[in-house]
Amino acid sequence: MNILYAASEALPFAASGGLADVVGSLPAALVKAGHDVRVVLPLYKDIKQELRDSLRFIRNFQVSVGWRQQYCGVFEGKAGSVTYYLIDNEYYFGRDGLYGFYDDCERFAFFARAILDMVAAEEDWTPQIIHCNDWQTGLTPVYLQIFYKHLPKFERMKTVFTIHNIQYQGKYGREVINDVLGIPLYYGSILEYDGCVNMMSAAFETSDKITTVSPTYAREILDPWFSHGLDRCLNSKQYKLTGFLNGIDTDLYNPETDTAIAKNFSASDLSGKAECKKALLSELKLRGDGSPLIGIVTRFVSHKGIDLIRNVFEEMVEMGYSFAILGSGDKMYEDFFREMAYRFPEKVSVTIGFIPSLSRRVYSACDMFLMPSQSEPCGLAQMISLRYGTIPIVRETGGLRDSVTDAGDFEHGGNGFTFKTYNAHDMLDAVRRAKALYDDKENWKKLQLFAMSCDCSWAKSAELYLGLYRELVG
C-alpha cells in the first residue's frame, strides 16, 4: 500500500513532544512490513542545517489560502528507510519554534492544503491513504472532501485521522472560514462546533477513520471528563473510532547500544545500569547512598499530574527517595521543583528544559519512573523506562493503563506500580509499595528483568494499522 503520513512534527527533523516520536518511527515499521510509506511535514527554520543540506528540491507551486496565493516549495529527503517531503514557505515556517504564533490557523491551513496540492502535482507516486495527525493536519480531509474529491486522482483516496491529544483542537472564530480557510460558508456545518471553528471536530466529520493512541483513551474520550468538549461529536462517530497502543523505536531506545548513556547494559547483565545510576548521581550532584532514585521527565502542566507530586513530595523524600527531574512548563511548577531542589540539595535535582540526551541518562539510571498523569493518551516515557529496566509508577489512565500492570500481580505479568484514583495519597501508596519491593533485592531484580522483556515495539500495532488500511482500500 501507498500511505502518506501528514504531521506537524517528526523525528529526526522537528520535535516538541511524543507526536514526533510516533511519526518518526511508525512509518519505518510499516516500510519494514513491505509498504511504501512517506511522511510530509513543514520545513521549519528549526530543522538542523545538516538535515536541510541533505534535502533535494523537487518543485514549487502556489497554494490558495483564502483569497491569497502563497508560494510552496517541496523538498525531498530520506531518514532511514522513509522518504520525507518538506513543505517550504519562509513566511509561515521561517520562524523560531514550531507553534504558538498569532497566525497558526493560517499556517496550518496552508500546510493542510499544500499537502493535497503536492499530491496533485506528483506524477510518480499517489497515496491510497493520507494519514493525518492532530489538529494541525485536521483540515486535509476537509479540503480533500470539498475541493479535490471530484478529481480522478483523489476519487478513491481515503483518510485516517489520529488524535494524539484531544486537548489541542485548533479552535478559531467563525470569521476564518472564508477569509483564511477559503471555504464557502455553506460548508460551515463541517467546520463549526460549539460556536467556533474546530479543526479537530472537522477532521472527525470528514475522515474515513479516526484512531487514537491507546484503546483505553479511545474509550475515555467518549466521556466529558476527558474529551475537552468533543464527546458529543465523538459519540456519534464511534463507528469509525478505534485505539491502537503506540510503540517506541526499540533500536533508538536500546540500553545495549544507546550512546547517550554512561554504560550499556542488557537483561543478561545489569551491572551497566548501576554504573549509569552512579554517573547520573554525580552529574546531578546527588548523594549516592543507595536510596532509590525516581526519574520524572515531563512537561510541567497540570494534566501530567504534577499537583499529585506536589502534594506529597516531602513525604516521598522522607520515605528515602531521591529525585532526578527534567522538564519545563508552567512557572508555578518550575518554581516548586526549584524550591524542592534548594531545600533538599543532596536528594532532589531539577533541570528546567527539553534535553533529549539527559532524558536518556535519566531513563537508564533511575530505579523508578513516576508518571501520575491526570490523562495520558498514550505516553511514551513509561515504555522507554520499561525498556531500560526502570520501573514505572503510573496512574491507570489511557496508554499508561494499557502498558503498565501492577506488580502486586507480579506472578501474572505485573511490570510496574499503578493506582486508580486521581488522588495524591493513592499515588503515595503505589510509591510506598515500590519502595518495599525495591528493598527486597532479589524480587526487584526479577521485576526489572520482566519489565525489560515487555514488548514495546511497533510490531503489534503496525499490524493493527495495516488491518485498518486494508479495510479502507479494500
- Measured CA to CA, the distance from residue 275 to residue 252 in angstroms comes to 20
In the complex with ligand GLC, which residue's Cβ is closer, 40 or 157? 40
User: Shortest Cβ distance from residue 135 to ligand GLC (Å)?
Assistant: 12
User: Shortest Cβ distance from residue 378 to ligand GLC (Å)?
Assistant: 3
In the complex with ligand GLC, which residue's Cβ is closer, 20 or 428? 20
User: Shortest Cβ distance from residue 9 to ligand GLC (Å)?
Assistant: 10
User: Shortest Cβ distance from residue 189 to ligand GLC (Å)?
Assistant: 29
In the complex with ligand GLC, which residue's Cβ is closer, 243 or 292? 243
Q: Exposed, middle or buried by CB within 10 Å (0-12, 13-18, 19+), for 208?
A: middle
Closest residue by beta carbon to ligand GLC: 18
| Nearest alpha carbon to residue 342 among 282, 279, 285, 277 | 285
In the complex with ligand GLC, which residue's Cβ is closer, 18 or 138? 18
Grid coordinates of 463: 499490524
- Measured CA to CA, the distance from residue 235 to residue 221 in angstroms comes to 9
In the complex with ligand GLC, which residue's Cβ is closer, 203 or 380? 380
User: Shortest Cβ distance from residue 394 to ligand GLC (Å)?
Assistant: 12
Grid coordinates of 55: 534535502
User: Shortest Cβ distance from residue 469 to ligand GLC (Å)?
Assistant: 18
In the complex with ligand GLC, which residue's Cβ is closer, 164 or 347? 164
Apex CA 192: angle with CA 190 and CA 197, to 5°? 115
| Nearest alpha carbon to residue 445 among 409, 407, 412 | 407
| Nearest alpha carbon to residue 84 among 45, 123, 110, 47 | 47
The residues near 340 (Cβ < 8 Å, ≥ 6 apart) are 313, 317, 323, 348, 350
User: Shortest Cβ distance from residue 167 to ligand GLC (Å)?
Assistant: 8
User: Shortest Cβ distance from residue 212 to ligand GLC (Å)?
Assistant: 8
Grid coordinates of 295: 526519574
Positions that interact with ligand GLC (CB under 6 A): 17-19, 22, 164-165, 213, 246, 376-380
User: Shortest Cβ distance from residue 21 to ligand GLC (Å)?
Assistant: 6
In the complex with ligand GLC, which residue's Cβ is closer, 19 or 37? 19
User: Shortest Cβ distance from residue 170 to ligand GLC (Å)?
Assistant: 15
For the beta sheet containing 391-395, the strands, ordered from the edge strand earlier in sequence to the opposite edge, are 348-352, 322-329, 293-300, 368-371, 391-395, 417-419
User: Cβ(100)–Cβ(134) under 8 Å?
Assistant: no
User: Shortest Cβ distance from residue 398 to ligand GLC (Å)?
Assistant: 7
In the complex with ligand GLC, which residue's Cβ is closer, 131 or 277? 131
In the complex with ligand GLC, which residue's Cβ is closer, 22 or 176? 22
In the complex with ligand GLC, which residue's Cβ is closer, 89 or 457? 457
338-376: buried (b, 16+ CB within 10 Å) or exposed (e) per residue? eebbeebeebbbbbbebeeebbbbbbbbbbbbbbbbbbb
- Measured CA to CA, the distance from residue 145 to residue 159 in angstroms comes to 10
Helices assigned H by DSSP within 166-270? 176-179, 188-191, 199-206, 215-220, 224-227, 231-235
Grid coordinates of 64: 490558495
In 3-state terms, what secondary structure has residue 36?
strand
User: Cβ(40)–Cβ(13) under 8 Å?
Assistant: no
Longest dimension (CA), the chain: 69
In the complex with ligand GLC, which residue's Cβ is closer, 24 or 292? 24
In 3-state terms, what secondary structure has residue 132?
strand
